[in-house]
Amino acid sequence: MAVDAGTTAVTSLAAACDDVREATDADAVDAVQPGFVVRPGSTEETTGVLRVAAERGLAVVARGAGTKLTWGTPPERVGLMLDLTRMAAVLDHAAGDLVAVAQAGCPIAHLQQTLAASGQRLAIDETLPGSTLGGGIATNSSGPRRMLNGTFRDLMIGTTVVRADGVIAKSGGRVVKNVAGYDLGKLMTGSFGTLGVVTDAVFRLHPLPAASGVLSADIRDSGILAAMVRAIVHSDVVPTAVEVDWSAAGGRIAVLLEGTEAGVAGRTAAARELLARAGPAEVDVDVLEQLPRWWGRYPDGVLLKLSCALSGVERVLREAAALGVAVRGSAGVGVLYGGIPVDADVTGAVTALRATCTASGGSLVVLDAPAAVKSTVDVWGPVSALELMRAVKRQFDPHRLLAPGRFVGGI
């Protein structure tokens, strides 16, 4: 399709949405410079913008707060940066139904603030400061509390999506229990913006716990760390999260318990006993007043997402440490985040750790790295059912206009 770039594109975009500007260097995604930045204020405006993009063959990358814009492989081209930050509202909070509806550009923290006024929350952690719901959905990013409550995939019960051709499609609804039709929300979750633009979503909420308890222990030996993880995971204390922070120098475990005042007191004592018994006598198990500083924060460096079966956690921690990779994350579910120093042998570490994760029923993805590093490693690794995924992409975005090249297998 011939694109008459410049004024005519701007004119048609401006007709769809009056908040259009030419892009600057600051809008580049992995050094790929967009032509324009458009900030639609509604689902309808998003439709208009995507129609223009489709007519003109402009590739579209959606952006919220931009905290994860360099995740995934670099896009092949970006004609249009679709900035969703004007769509930042909490549209509805039905407290009695434990349901909320919010726009994609809504910062997670803002939603939480709104919900907290009624003693509720979306049981999903803000993994990077300022990040939005849309970015969380696109990457299915998750933090420590996933252990008890699941991820976006589990808590999103309805979605509004604008397709590459501008058509608006809804799926799910406002009730938690609902099996009418396909669950397009699951398909969108973690799709890195390659199938459609989620403009708003409905979430299942949880009550804010009345009390919480935090336990932590510093440990030198990965075997002891793993034994402590097992002691909690296979117990009756129902932890909200079991996190580890590990490197060649040793590390620590932290356990979060949430519930009623009296319940948490008893469970914290029980969990402390379990941790103490899992390790040698000289390891102290501390009750912390608040979550430790490293809690839920990604390690520095080239950022990896490592997943494995629970029984593989110990081996992944050990091998990561041996390769100089610092690891943090949800050992209680088998989802960890690794950080490789940028000047280290990234390819070697990725290859070795990927083999370990794969052997344990999991995978390794290079989430975030400088574009130069990403060009030298296999970012996504082997993906099963790739042909079906390509077929889905062909249906939703036959002209490859949505974040082309950013996802698995070059999708």
Partner 1 sequence: MTSTHGTTKTAGPEVGPTPPEQTAATGQNGDGPQIQAVRRRVRDLLPAEVVVTDHARLRTYECDGLANYRVTPALVVLADSVDQVATVIRICAEERVPFVARGSGTGLSGGALPRADGVLIVMSRMRAIREVAPEDQRAVVEPGVVNLDVTKAAAPHGYYYAPDPSSQQICSIGGNLAENSGGAHCLKYGFTANHVTGAEFVAPDGSVVQLGGRAPDAPGYDLLGTVIGSEGTLGIATAVTVRLTRKPEDVVTVLAGFESTDDAGAATSAIIGAGVVPAAIEMMDALAIEAAEAAVHCSYPDGAGAVLVVELDGPTDEVRQEFDEVERHCREHGAFAFRVAKDDVERALIWRGRKSAFAAVGRISPDYIVQDGVIPRTALPKVLRAIAELSSSSGVRVANVFHAGDGNLHPLVLFDDSRAGQGEAAEEVSGKILDLCIEAGGSITGEHGVGVDKSAYMPRMFTDDDLDTMQMVRCAFDPDNIANPGKIFPTPRLCGEVPGRHRGEHPLAKSGVAEIF
Q: 37 or 325: whose CB is closer to partner 1?
A: 325
CA distance 349 to 343: 12
Q: 37 or 184: whose CB is closer to partner 1?
A: 184
Q: 103 or 356: whose CB is closer to partner 1?
A: 356
Cβ 177 to partner 1 shortest distance, Å: 4
Q: How many residues does the chain have?
A: 411
Q: Which residue has the tokens 């990896």?
A: 304
H or E element in which residue 287 lies = strand 285-288
Cβ 403 to partner 1 shortest distance, Å: 13
Lookup: tokens for 380: 């996504």
Three-class SS of residue 32?
strand
Q: How many helical (H) and strand (E) elements, i.e. helices and strands, does the chain have?
A: 13, 19
Cβ 380 to partner 1 shortest distance, Å: 5
Q: 56 or 146: whose CB is closer to partner 1?
A: 146
Q: 9 or 215: whose CB is closer to partner 1?
A: 215
Cβ 228 to partner 1 shortest distance, Å: 15
Q: Tell me if 362 sits within 8 A of 313, measured CB to CB.
A: no
Q: 249 or 388: whose CB is closer to partner 1?
A: 388
Cβ 328 to partner 1 shortest distance, Å: 16
Rounded to 5°, the CA angle 217-223-224 comes to 30
Instruction: Give the E-state strand segments of 320-385 in sequence order.
Output: 326-330, 335-340, 363-368
Q: Tell me if 158 sits within 8 A of 170, measured CB to CB.
A: yes
For residue 409, the tally of other CB atoms under 10 A from its CB is 13
Cβ 208 to partner 1 shortest distance, Å: 7
